[in-house]
């Protein structure tokens, strides 16, 4: 009898563990400032903690000036912008899923559901941003690969560099290029630039803009969280004098960090998921 009961207890324990594992949706791998969570069925909100487990139907809310990165157990990742409310679901057969009730997010191969649209990655490298406007219009901008947007029984494929809008109770709009000119604004006539003669003792350009960071005027979710900046005396960066990481909107004061002289600078973008890209080509700078 004891052996029989022990077997029941062991089976029950294993079954409970497997059930709990099946309900696990993701982990909160990174966040800044104030991020709240609410367990399914609960009414109270709690403060999020790093590497905490998130389960099926748990809700995550990023407050003002806050961000969060959620990673599903199958590898898909979500980067949540400030004032974003999402409900997580466990990974399905094709991709993980989240329901966005407010705000905006950047998805790496996750299936996203909003109040008016369903967004499904169509390629293994698919990345896109989804934003829910105040009038509940869903804006989907694809930054890599292909995503399919469905609403009111109609599907459209949106490729890298394009976006679509889904207004309440309407089908998705035809994809348009992210760089498309604004309506009613005529493009300026093309002009041939005049090549100026080279100046003697031309000064190398100083660090004045983030020309290595992508900009997307139609998507308010930043495509990068920052960049790694390196400065060296030689073009091959054999001896790095400065190696620091900055936020996407930060501009380093190199004059306060290095003595006057000629240097080379390079930078590598760090995306919303914490992955660092390749360094840019060395760029000569002069610090006075």
Q: Is 169 helix (H, G, I), strand (E, B) or coil?
A: coil
Q: Identify the band that residue 77 occupies on the pLDDT scale cut at 50, 70 and 90.
A: confident
**CB-CB contact of 155 with 149 (8 Å):** yes
pTM of the model: 0.60
Domain residue extents for the chain: 22-177, 224-287
Q: Is 6 helix (H, G, I), strand (E, B) or coil?
A: helix
Q: What phi and psi values does residue 16 have, to the nearest 5 degrees?
A: -65, -40
Cα–Cα dist 246/145, whole Å: 28
What is the C-alpha end-to-end distance of the chain, expressed in Å? 86
Q: Identify the band that residue 158 occupies on the pLDDT scale cut at 50, 70 and 90.
A: very high
Span 1-25, mean pLDDT?
Answer: 48
**CB-CB contact of 114 with 132 (8 Å):** yes
Span 15-23, mean pLDDT?
Answer: 45
Q: Which numeric CATH code is attached to 224-287?
A: 2.60.40.10
Q: Could you report the per-residue pLDDT of 54-63, keeping only the tens digit for each? A: 988 899 999 8
Residue 53 has pLDDT above 80, yes or no: yes
CA 125 to chain centre: 13
Residue 186 has pLDDT above 70, yes or no: no
The pLDDT value given to residue 118: 93
Cα angle 40, 42, 43; round to 5: 130
HSE-CB at 49 with a 13 A cutoff on CA atoms is: 3
The pLDDT value given to residue 236: 92
Class of domain 22-177: mainly beta
Residue with tokens 């748990």: 58
Q: Could you report the per-residue pLDDT of 207-237, keeping only the tens digit for each? A: 333 333 333 323 344 456 678 889 999 999 9
């Amino acid at each position: 009898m004891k052996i029989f009961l022990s077997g029941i207890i062991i089976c029950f324990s294993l079954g409970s563990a497997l059930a709990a594992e099946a309900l696990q949706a993701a982990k909160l791998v990174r966040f800044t400032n104030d991020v709240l969570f609410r367990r399914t069925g609960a009414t109270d909100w709690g403060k999020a903690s790093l590497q905490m487990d998130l389960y099926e139907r748990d809700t995550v809310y990023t407050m003002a000036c806050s961000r969060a990165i959620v990673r599903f157990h199958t590898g898909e990742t979500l980067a949540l912008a400030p004032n974003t409310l999402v409900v997580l679901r466990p990974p399905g057969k094709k991709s993980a899923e989240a329901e966005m009730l407010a705000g905006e997010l950047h998805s790496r191969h996750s299936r996203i559901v909003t109040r008016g649209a369903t967004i499904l990655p169509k390629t293994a490298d698919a990345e896109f941003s989804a934003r829910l406007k105040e009038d509940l219009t869903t804006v989907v901008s694809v930054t890599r690969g292909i995503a399919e947007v469905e609403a009111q029984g109609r599907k459209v494929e949106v490729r890298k560099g394009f976006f679509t809008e889904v207004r309440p109770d309407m089908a998705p709009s035809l994809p348009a290029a992210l760089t498309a000119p604004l309506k009613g604004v005529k493009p300026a006539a093309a002009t041939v630039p005049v090549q100026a003669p080279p100046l003697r003792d031309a000064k190398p350009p100083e660090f004045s803009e983030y020309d290595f960071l992508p900009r997307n005027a139609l998507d308010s979710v930043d495509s990068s969280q920052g960049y790694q900046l390196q400065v060296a005396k030689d073009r091959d960066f054999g001896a790095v004098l400065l190696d620091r990481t900055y936020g996407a909107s930060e501009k380093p004061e190199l004059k306060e960090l290095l003595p006057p002289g000629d240097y080379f600078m390079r930078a590598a973008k760090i995306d919303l998921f914490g992955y660092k890209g390749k360094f840019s080509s060395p760029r000569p700078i002069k610090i006075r």
